[in-house]
Structure 1
Amino acid sequence: MLSITNLQVFYDHAVEAVRDVSLEVGAGRIVALLGSNGAGKSTVLKAISGVLYPEEGAITGGVIAYGGRPIGKLPPHEIVRLGLVQVPEGRRLFDTLTVEENLLMGGYARPAGESSAAMARIFGMFPAIEAHRHRVSGYLSGGQQQMVAIGRALMGEPKMLLLDEPSLGLAPQIITEIFQAIRRLRDERGLTVLLVEQNAQLALSVADYGYIMERGRIVMDDTPQKLLANDDVKEFYLGVQDGGERRSMRDIKHYKRRKRWLS
């Protein structure tokens, strides 16, 4: 469904943020794009969605194809109409609008009757926000805002969802609920998902395949089972040393990057 070949992205014609990234996302699959902060994951999503320009970013090489059609030069609204919708990091709701109004914005191009049915499905998926449907979204909790953000994206009945750090800053119970919903969207509706996450264990628990980015390029890709069994992934992303001993956060923050894939 989505194919990226040798993608290169620069910011302000000077800073190379993404270098020769290639990946595939098949229809009806969840693919995780993992990596530390600053690895280039969000830049890949912005390139796919056509929203690099506000930050003086530009695609300088490679091809992004969706359904066999190159989309690297399309404006964002045309990409959305093709069925590819992003949920950005930090939710980015219309804070002064109510929950219901935010959802309606996501389905603005749909007939009123279809929007009502879509909203009912979203409230069924996230019952925690239905009671707040007439509340201004800026006053919701972080978890409720994330549910509204995902719901707003789903209002347009997308074929593929791009999720940027959906677990960021949320309580464990809310994270579990959101990731259960992501899994159901794949299993019950066949929705395709490209999931960007720093939490490797969490992302790989729902993914069908995973890629790891470092310093703007893909350094490893495999099934979740093989990635979770890899010694480098266990040490640098799960904080586990040989023998199953979990490293302290202090050790993780101060390790020297001796990853074999960067040698």
Structure 2
Amino acid sequence: MLKSGPSSGELGGSAPVAAARAGLEVANAQIFYDSHVEAVRDISFAVPPGQIVCLLGSNGAGKSTTLKAISGILFPEKGMLVSGSITYDGRRIDRVEADEVVRGGVVLVPEGRRLFINLTVEENLLVGGISRSAADRRAQLERVYDQFPELPEHRHRISGYLSGGQQQMVAIGRALMSNPTLLMLDEPSLGLAPKIVDSIFEAIVQLRSNDMSVLLVEQNAHLALSVADFGYVMERGRIVFDGSANDLMESPEIQEFYLGMNASKQRKSLRHVKHYKRRKRWLS
């Protein structure tokens, strides 16, 4: 577990660029809403370059709040990172505006897609590349259409009339328009048919093969672990368990609480499992 993170300056500042990519590092982050409601407590984790890392946990565990903190969009909800640090490739990103975070290569696809439903598919995509030159936008647009071959035939269709799966493709494509190096996805399978979910996750795996890092928040633990390299489990704003995707998939506790693979009907709190007691430093 990370207990501290480098602080090499801020995006857009005068700090020297690191010789090699360091990826995302969240160190001892504590997040409050309205200055007194603690949503995330002292969490630390990393997303190395070119890997898929998943955050697992039930509703209210703090997963989406964590993504918002990384993206710099807590302020509209009166949220604040009160301690700890968030760095990307060695530079602090918790002290800069959201648009600077995007220009630094970190982009979020929020839960619920959040498209401009009165704009066409192509107009939505072009909005995602608004900070790039016209030539770059056109080139990136073609890459998005290659990534999601179902979209070109709908390029002039109003996005509000698309199916949920098509809208999710547009939402991911819009994020890709800024050419990120870290893509964060918040519940990409939510409300989608299994066949569509499979195609979305195939695209996510392909992004990793293109050397993009992915931070995935997903309640479908089996699905998330099937594509991830590493995973963290959050409960009540704290990370209570972590390990490689294979280790988590084989863990009896993860199988019982998140994969539904235990025949016993008795449900226990993670804090009462001996394996978690050995990690009580996360629960203090």
> Which residue in 2 is equivalent to 1:221?
242
Please give the alpha-carbon distance, in whole angstroms, between the structure 2 residues aligned to 1:137 and 1:172: 21
Determine which of 121, 128, 136 is the counterpart of 1:114: 136
> Which residue in 1 is equivalent to 2:12?
none
TM-score (norm 2): 0.86
Please give the alpha-carbon distance, in whole angstroms, between the structure 2 residues aligned to 1:141 and 1:39: 29
Measured after TM superposition, the shift of residue 119 of structure 1 is 1.2
Q: Is 1:203 matched with 2:215?
A: no
- Per-residue CA deviations over 1:185-223 (Å, capped at 9, x if unaligned) read 111x10011111111100011111000000000000000
Please give the alpha-carbon distance, in whole angstroms, between the structure 2 residues aligned to 1:202 and 1:69: 32
**Matched position secondary structure for 1:212:** strand
Determine which of 52, 69, 79 is the counterpart of 2:74: 52
The amino acid across from 1:67 in the alignment is D
Residue identity over aligned pairs, in percent, reads 58
TM-score (norm 1): 0.93
> Which residue in 1 is equivalent to 2:211?
190
The amino acid across from 1:47 in the alignment is A
Determine which of 145, 157, 162 is the counterpart of 1:123: 145
> Which residue in 2 is equivalent to 1:20?
42
**Matched position secondary structure for 1:114:** helix
Please give the alpha-carbon distance, in whole angstroms, between the structure 2 residues aligned to 1:104 and 1:69: 28
**Matched position secondary structure for 1:226:** helix
Q: Is 1:38 matched with 2:60?
A: yes
The root-mean-square deviation of aligned C-alpha atoms, in Å, is 1.4
- Per-residue CA deviations over 1:110-163 (Å, capped at 9, x if unaligned) read 222222221111112112222111011111111100000000000111111111
> Which residue in 2 is equivalent to 1:81?
103
The amino acid across from 1:211 in the alignment is Y
Output aligned runs, 1:126-137, within 5 Å. Answer: 126-137=148-159
Please give the alpha-carbon distance, in whole angstroms, between the structure 2 residues aligned to 1:76 and 1:82: 10
Please list every run of 5 or more consecutive structure 1 residues that lacks an aligned counterpart in the other structure.
none
Deviates more, 1:163-172 or 1:105-114: 105-114
Please give the alpha-carbon distance, in whole angstroms, between the structure 1 residues aligned to 2:187 and 2:104: 23
The amino acid across from 2:96 in the alignment is L
Measured after TM superposition, the shift of residue 256 of structure 1 is 4.3
The amino acid across from 2:78 in the alignment is E
Measured after TM superposition, the shift of residue 257 of structure 1 is 2.3
Aligned length: 253
The amino acid across from 1:102 in the alignment is N
> Which residue in 2 is equivalent to 1:255?
267
The amino acid across from 1:240 in the alignment is M
> Which residue in 1 is equivalent to 2:190?
168
The amino acid across from 1:39 in the alignment is A
**Matched position secondary structure for 1:31:** strand
Please list every run of 5 or more consecutive structure 2 residues that lacks an aligned counterpart in the other structure.
1-22
Q: Is 1:178 matched with 2:200?
A: yes
Please give the alpha-carbon distance, in whole angstroms, between the structure 2 residues aligned to 1:118 and 1:78: 20
